[in-house]
Chains A and B, each alone.
Chain A
Amino acid sequence: MYNKGTIIPGLIIFVLFVTFPIWFNGLSAAPAPKPEMPPGGEKKCVESAEYMRANHMQMLNDWRDNVLRDDNRTVVEVEGKKYRKGLQQACMQCHTNKEKFCDNCHTYAAVNPYCWDCHLTPKEAASKGGTR
């Protein structure tokens, strides 16, 4: 084998790059966190839990477009219960704790939704005095 002095270090760097997740985790990683269920004990949502887990971001995006761009504030009615389209007006009424409900999974999956560029969490809203 020629040029051992450069090729072997090069191969070691390559293997370190490829196995990055293995040595970075060190063979143990924190378990997946669970989102906190509504403190009020609410069991019903606008859709099934399975659907919400996979599609909530698309539903919220549609709602945002409906309300802000199309001026369509039609109330969503599911089994007699009415939900106003909105993160704070619908979701956060039951899931009151953003840190324990939203952030648990979002942080784990490195998802950084820009909801909170405009919205206030219930905690922030209370401290700023005023919520609709």
Chain B
Amino acid sequence: MKYAFSLLAVIALILVAGLGSLVPGMQYLFGVVIPYLAIMIFIGGFVYRIIQWAKSPVPFSIPTTCGQGVSLDFIKQDKLDCPTKTSEVVARMFLEIFAFRSLFRNTKSELHNGPKITYESSKWLWLFALLFHYSFLMIVIRHMRLFVEPIPFWVNAVEAVDSMLQIGAPTLYLSSVGLVGGVLLLFGRRLVSRHVRYISLNNDYFPLVLIFAIAATGILMRYFMRDNIDIMNIKQLAVGLVTLSPVIGAKIGTIFYIHLFLVSTLLVYFPFSKLMHMGGVFMSPTRNMANDSRAKRHINPWNDPEIKPHSYAGYEDEFREFMVDAGIPVEKELTAVKDEA
């Protein structure tokens, strides 16, 4: 029932914003103060987390090698899965970030009659993740139309592609369908697949429920609950926020404040949660290191340069008398050493 807690938490957040923004004078809190706090916590927290990670040493060279490494001339190297040069690492990272390549190899073991065990790549996670993340990206880009004036051409271009089916008015966005579909599929995967369900925690369910609620309020606001939803007033508020001169002019529907409050929650939650994989993907040593440990020595950064190598011969020189006293066998006897001297 872990997902029930996440559901209740999001319902509580919706009630806070929905009822709170109805109180006269509280619109300023929900429309201006909380969004400002949220974006500051988001940027500050994000930078803080990255710097904390950057301060952690990588003691060993630990790239995951998923293919043939550099070997003899007639053995072909798998350049993407076992990169040795920086350019190959960059190519691997690029595909990881834009195509989620490692999810493509989400191996699943199955027991068949025989008994026979098979390992097969289960592509669902990869497919749902692509759908979800690219829809989310398009939505973020599209929202820029509410923040900037004049609107750059690429925002209009994304908007045109996204609404190209020309269904209804306001036109249906493909990314709205993609985001809701993606979130439901990722959530369903956690419920249906038994082993994923077993390892799922509140902090897996909560962001999914929260993002679903954000998408749902956005869609309701655009198509169904249009009372007092005048995009001109909303853009005025949004532009006011980013030009640091916010004004709450006309009355804006409650559903807008709920949407905004949930987005603020997501921004605050982001740096302290698993959502930091957005920054973390760039900093995974298993992806961003080259598999060149046989060509270049990886120095462990936490090694103290004051600690010099200490051979056994040196050790015995230091402690020979005590060792002999204690009856521990030594390679050079005390007398032999004295003779040399």
Contact = CB atoms under 8 A, between A and B. Distances in A.
A11 B50 contact: yes
Contact of B54 (A7, A105, A108): A7
A112 interface: yes
B169 A14 contact: no
Interface stretch (A26-34, A37-45, A80-88, A120-128): A26-34
Contacts of B56: 2
Nearest to B146: A109
Q: Of residues A15, A19, A108, which shows the largest number of chain B Cβ atoms within 10 Å of its Cβ?
A: A108
Given A7-B54, A25-B242, A58 B169 contact: yes
A66 interface: no
B142 to A, nearest CB: 9
Nearest to B143: A21
Interface in A2-21: 2-4, 7, 10-11, 14-15, 18-21
Interface in B225-256: 226-232, 235-236, 239, 242-244
A38 B197 CA distance: 61
A30 B160 CA distance: 23
B151 interface: yes
A3 B155 contact: no
B170 interface: yes
Contacts of B235: 32, 108-109
B149 A108 contact: yes
B55 A22 contact: no
B286 to A, nearest CB: 15
Contacts of A108: 149, 232, 235
Nearest to A18: B43
B67 interface: no
A29 B149 contact: yes
A128 to B, nearest CB: 25
Contacts of B227: 54
B160 A20 contact: no
B243 A10 contact: no
A113 interface: yes
B228 to A, nearest CB: 7
B58 A2 contact: yes
A121 B282 CA distance: 52
B145 interface: yes
Interface residues of B, number: 48
A10 B149 contact: no
B42 interface: yes
Interface in A73-132: 105, 108-114
Contact of A10 (B58, B168, B169, B282): B282
A67 interface: no
Given A14-B46, A32-B236, A109-B232, A57 B169 contact: yes
B47 interface: yes
B160 A18 contact: no
Contacts of A22: 242-244
B154 to A, nearest CB: 11
A111 B243 contact: no
A100 B155 CA distance: 23
Interface in B53-86: 54-58
Nearest to B240: A29
Contacts of A110: 145, 151, 155-156, 159
13 contacts: A2-B55, A7-B50, A11-B51, A14-B50, A21-B144, A29-B149, A29-B243, A32-B239, A54-B228, A57-B169, A105-B231, A108-B235, A109-B145
- Which 7 A-B pairs have CB atoms at the shortest separation, nearest pair first? A61-B169, A21-B147, A110-B145, A21-B242, A29-B149, A57-B169, A54-B226
Interface of B: 39, 42-43, 46-47, 50-51, 54-58, 144-152, 155-156, 159-160, 163, 166, 168-171, 226-232, 235-236, 239, 242-244, 279, 282-283, 301
